[in-house]
Amino acid sequence: MELLETILEKRGIMGEEEREIFLNPDYKRDLHDPFLMKDMERACVRLYEAIENKEKIVIYADYDCDGIPGAVILCDLFKKINYSNYEVYIPQRNSEGYGLNLEAIKQFAEAGVKLLITVDLGITAVAEVAQTEVDDIDVIITDHHLPPEVLPRAYAILNPKTDDYPGKMLCGAGVVFKLVQGFIKKYGEYFKIKDGAEKWMLDMAGLATLSDMVPLLGENRAIAHFGMTVLRKSPRPGLQKLLAKMNIDQKYLTEDDVGFMLAPRLNAASRMASPLLAYELLSTEDEVEAGILADQLSKINDDRKSIVVSIMREVNKNFEKRSAGELREVIVIGNPSWRVGVLGLVAGKISDEHNKPVFVWGKDENSCIKGSCRSDGSVSVVELMAATGEFFTDFGGHELAGGFTVKNDKIHFLEEALSLSFNKIKKEEKSNDLSGDFSNGLLHDINTDLDAVNMKNWKELAKLAPFGIGNEKPIFLFEGVKVEKIKKFGKNGSEEHLEIAFSNKEGHKSKAVSFFSNHNSFKIPIAEGGNVNLLATFDLSRWRGREELRLRVTDII
């Protein structure tokens, strides 16, 4: 059986029609009618009225790589219809925190704002939306987070999780894209917008979909697929300048480039400075400004990396003092001096290393204890925080990632409380025969040999792209391969990565890379001359214009 067929079968994509839909995304077929979403008609009509009456509009977007591209999508719409009476407001991560806030709403009321459109936030903002009613500001909420039992009394709420909309797992920018798609469908002719004009905005919807860890299935797969197509051709000068700074050839951009190179730089703006830098980079039409902003973001990202490295040193020192048996079911670690904006990255690194849910905290500019959490896939962090609700003054997120604020007098008891909640949840799941596993994926997809690492198979596997949550890169098991040579490499002589040459008994050879690794980073330590079982994905490198097919190590066992 062909490699592609085997993998499709393993992933439960069996019938001819199902395979056709998966392998060949189609814009008209796979993107649902936006008016299937509750309140879409109401939202489009209110937006039209605001534009006709030249009302002051505020786009209030989250500060991450979902909210910011979502804001750019709305701005693209306004540019197309030459509407300029709007502003973009993105809260400061460290001083204002996530979501709508009353101080900002007060400013909007004083400035005569009549319509507020949220992006990637607002579904829990009951009190804040109540204040907008008092201030005579209508609110259209566009969000994708889990809705509470009591919803805000907004003019319209666009959230696929509040109704029967078929694409439940859209990201925030995906919801905004549906609003723009609906608006153009209803009013495009009136505003002289060409049919299908929203397709050029798919670069931003795709960027957010790939960055925000939503499942790449159904409508999301189509958005990510066409989003990558548009990203490779996008005329946005800021995007082009930033890709050039990273030595990425735009026409060969991959989802790995988006997830590991582009998104971290855009997110670094809010973690280290102002999120408006990232918004301005993606929305500017000025080449000179784009170059300046790309330089700024690159510098900010370098600073962010240094801070994360410094915090991880402290974390590792802390863990050295504890024995492995001392680590609870849930890890909680923090320091008042740690920068709140980078703690999600730190939590992710610790969770990957220790395979546990991790909560990392610091103190913000107002001396509040805030932090980020990441799950290893064993439990939903939102469920975990809800079960330990008395410890938090605020929390939110989704299954795999979240943010929280803790009462100052409770922080030192948080690890024990979360671990007790974890055990209770797992016990209930066991009794209900539910796995509760969000980690999604087998140890490997298929056993094969090194002679399968060839361009023919690579081209077949590429049909499964874009890869991400819910559609992970196929992992191959290569049994009994010999470690021929191990070479360290890295930027500026850092030697933080490994290049490993493998061979099999028949003499077939293949090169593999493992980033941010050393000889002891795997289930078993490796040495030249040893025989091992290799778990890896295919990886096509185009470093400095030279194409090379290699493997990327997942683990060595």
489: domain CATH number? 2.40.50.460
**What's 418's domain CATH number?**
3.10.310.30
Residue 106 in this model has a pLDDT that exceeds 90: yes
Whether residue 155 sits in one domain with residue 96: yes
Of 381, 399, 431, the one marking the end of a domain is: 431
At 433 the pLDDT is 47
Question: What letter does residue 262 receive in the DSSP assignment?
Answer: I
- pLDDT band at residue 1 under the 50/70/90 scheme: low
Range of the domain at 329: 322-431
At 432 the pLDDT is 58
Question: Residue 557 and residue 546: Cα distance in Å, rounded?
Answer: 31
DSSP class per residue in 94-157:
TTT-SS--HHHHHHHHHTTEEEEEEES--TT-HHHHHHHHHTT-EEEEE--SPP-SSPP--SEE
Q: Which of 48-62, 64-78, 194-208, 437-451 has the lowest mean pLDDT?
A: 437-451
Whether residue 213 sits in one domain with residue 80: yes
Cβ atoms 442, 233 nearer than 8 A: no
Mean per-residue pLDDT for 304-310?
93
Q: At residue 388, what are phi and psi to the nearest 5 degrees?
A: -125, 35
Of 227, 252, 269, the one marking the end of a domain is: 227
541 domain-assigned = yes
Q: Which of 32-41, 257-266, 396-405 has the lowest mean pLDDT?
A: 396-405
Whether residue 88 sits in one domain with residue 213: yes
At 516 the pLDDT is 84
Whether residue 142 sits in one domain with residue 56: yes
Q: How many domains does the chain contain in total?
A: 4
Whether residue 238 sits in one domain with residue 208: no
pLDDT digits (tens, 9 = 90+) for 329-371: 999 999 999 999 899 999 999 998 888 999 999 998 888 999 9
Of 192, 227, 262, the one marking the end of a domain is: 227
At 325 the pLDDT is 63
At 441 the pLDDT is 40
pLDDT digits (tens, 9 = 90+) for 54-91: 999 999 999 999 999 999 999 999 999 999 999 999 99
Whether residue 492 sits in one domain with residue 426: no
At 362 the pLDDT is 95
**What's 202's domain CATH number?**
3.90.1640.30
Whether residue 491 sits in one domain with residue 376: no
17 domain-assigned = no
Whether residue 147 sits in one domain with residue 45: yes
- pLDDT band at residue 486 under the 50/70/90 scheme: very high
Question: Residue 65 and residue 120: Cα distance in Å, rounded?
Answer: 10
Whether residue 387 sits in one domain with residue 274: no
At 431 the pLDDT is 61
Cβ atoms 268, 298 nearer than 8 A: no
Q: Which residue has the higher pLDDT, 435 or 463?
A: 463
Question: Residue 245 and residue 544: Cα distance in Å, rounded?
Answer: 13
315 domain-assigned = no
Q: Are strands 138-142 and 113-119 parallel, antiparallel or unpaired?
A: parallel
438 domain-assigned = no
Question: Residue 61 and residue 120: Cα distance in Å, rounded?
Answer: 6
Query: Taking the alpha carbons of 475, 478, 479, 484 in that order, is the dihedral positive or negative?
Result: negative
Whether residue 52 sits in one domain with residue 29: yes
- Locus of tokens 């490499």: 489
440 domain-assigned = no
8 domain-assigned = no
16 domain-assigned = no
At 442 the pLDDT is 40
6 domain-assigned = no
Whether residue 165 sits in one domain with residue 56: yes
Whether residue 350 sits in one domain with residue 218: no
